[in-house]
Amino acid sequence: MSGVHYWETKGLKEMSQSEWEGLCDGCGKCCLHKLQDEDTDEIYHTAVACELLDLRSGGCSDYANRFAKVTDCLQLSADNLANFQWLPPSCAYRRLSEGRGLPSWHPLLNGGKKHKMHAADMSVRHKSVSEGLDLDPADFIVTWPLEDVD
Ligand code: SF4
């Protein structure tokens, strides 16, 4: 795809709200529960997803009311991005904040479609379970959320 894209010319802090929101690939990985070792602070990713996550699409099933329904849901912004080192390496916000650009499978580079992201195995689809099943996340520690491809 040719042409200059807004995420290549603007810094994260210069983007409009719609441009910022548009960066999210909808992978759903940030909506997986994480565990932190109390002694080492190391973070472990699990395959157990927030109850609001649509496991098929990777999107939030109630985006407008997510903060009211899930008290520990966090708002990402350019101002607090430095606090979100637990974001998966494939996350568009993390990639751009680290100067790595967007990957070829990102929906913004594919007409808004997610098929290449799913084909690259970069979303939660077919790999996660819902916390609604009352599972112990400690039994579902996984490393695939840490994978990334260009
Ligand atoms: S990990 Fe990043 S790109 Fe993926 S859904 Fe979460 S905020 Fe969006």
Q: How many domains does the chain have?
A: 1
Residues lining ligand 1, judged by CB closer than 6 Å?
24-30, 76, 87-88, 91-93
* Token couple for 11: 């810094």
Residue 63 domain-assigned (yes or no): yes
Residue 79 domain-assigned (yes or no): yes
The predicted structure's pLDDT at residue 87 = 93
Q: How far is the CA of 148 from the centre of ligand 1 (A)?
A: 13
The domain in which residue 61 lies consists of: 6-146
Alpha carbons 115 and 58: distance in angstroms, whole number: 12
2: confidence class by pLDDT, cuts 50, 70, 90? low
Residue 142 domain-assigned (yes or no): yes
* C-alpha torsion sign, points 93, 68, 58, 46: positive
Residue 81 domain-assigned (yes or no): yes
pLDDT in tens, 94-134: 999 999 999 999 999 999 999 999 999 999 998 999 887 77
> Which region, left, alpha or beta, applies to residue 6 given φ > 0 means left and ψ of -120 to 50 means alpha?
alpha
Residue 1 domain-assigned (yes or no): no
Mutate which of 7, 21, 24 for ligand 1? The one with the most ligand atoms within 8 Å of its CB, which is 24
Q: What is the mean pLDDT of residues 46-71?
A: 90
